[in-house]
Amino acid sequence: MAIQTATMRTHLADRYGDEALYGALYTTAPSSSAGTEVTGGSPAYARKALSWSTASASASSVTVTFDVPASTTVVGAGCHTASTAGTYLDGVAVTSQAFATQGTYAVTYTITIS
C-alpha cells in the first residue's frame, strides 16, 4: 500500500532519523550489508553521530564530515545504530574519492519517503 498522506511520510522520515544514529564511510559499496568500513588515519576515522533535521515535506537530512586516512578510496556511506558495532541499517554508493594524503569527506544523508 502506498503512503497516502504527507503527514505520515513526514512522520516516517522522522522515525528513520531516530534509528539511523551514526554515519559511516566504506571502501566497498554497501548493499543489503555494509561495505568495508574505513579505518585508521590521524586524526583517526570514526563514525559520526547523525543529528537529523526535523522532517518536513516527507524528508529529513544531516551533513557530517569524516576524517579519511591516506591511501583510502571512499565509495560508499551508510547508517548504523551505534558508534561501533551496532546494526547496519542502510547504505548507498557515493561519488568515489581517492585520498593520497589524509583528508576529509563530507556526506549529506537524506531520507525522502514517497
Model confidence pLDDT, tens digit, residues 50-68: 999 999 999 999 999 999 9
Residue 3 lies in a domain: no
**Residue 2's pLDDT is what?**
84
Range of the domain at 84: 21-112
Residue 11 lies in a domain: no
Residue 100 lies in a domain: yes
Mean pLDDT across 34-52: 97
pLDDT of residue 12 exceeding 80, the answer is: yes
pLDDT of residue 1 exceeding 80, the answer is: no
Residue 89 lies in a domain: yes
59-70 in b/e form (b: 16+ CB < 10 A) is: bbbbebebbbbe
Mean pLDDT across 69-78: 98
Residue 56 lies in a domain: yes
Residue 52 lies in a domain: yes
Number of domains in the chain: 1
